[in-house]
Amino acid sequence: MTPPATAKPPAIHAADAGPAPGHYACSFSEDGTPYPPYECLITRRAGSLWLEKKTGSQRLKGNVEVTGTGFRFKGTFFCPLGDCTQPVSADFTRDETGVFRGTLRLPPGARGPTTEMSLVRK
C-alpha cells in the first residue's frame, strides 16, 4: 500500500499575492507581547485598495499597494479617544498559509514599540 501524498499549499503567484477586499482579523504584537485580534477591513476606493483597523483604542487606515509577495501599506496611525496621530507604513508578505505579516514603521525620529501585524481573511 502506498502512503498518501503530502498535500502542499498552492503556490502563490504575483497576481494572487495581494489581499482581496473583505473582512480580516488583524493581530498585533508590540515588542513581543501579543494582543487579541481586532476587526480589519480591506475595501476598494476609487480603484485602490484601502486597509482600516475598525476596533480598538489604537487604529490605522491607509492605502494598500499590491506587490509581488504581498502588499505595501502607507497610512495613518491614530487614537479615536486621544492624540496619537502619526504616519505609518509597512511591507507585508504572504506566508504559505495565506497570512499576511509585516512590521509597522513610524516616521524617522518617532519613538514607539516595534509592532508586528498579521492579517487573516475571515
Answering whether pTM is above 0.85, one says no
> Could you report the per-residue pLDDT of 24-44, keeping only the tens digit for each?
999 999 998 999 999 999 999
- Overall domain count for the chain: 1
Report which secondary-structure segment, H or E, holds 27: strand 22-30
CATH of the domain at 70: 2.40.128.120
Residue 57 lies in a domain: yes
- Compare 4 and 62 and report the one with higher pLDDT: 62
Which DSSP letter does residue 8 get?
P
- The yes-or-no verdict on residue 6 having pLDDT over 60 is no
Which DSSP letter does residue 81 get?
T
The pLDDT score that the predictor gives to residue 1 is 47
Number of H helices, E strands in the chain: 0, 9
Quickly tell me which residue has 509597512 as its cell: 90
Full domain range(s) for residue 82: 20-121
- For residues 62 and 87, give the distance between their C-alpha atoms in angstroms, rounded to a whole number: 9
The answer to whether the CB of 52 falls within 8 A of the CB of 40 is yes
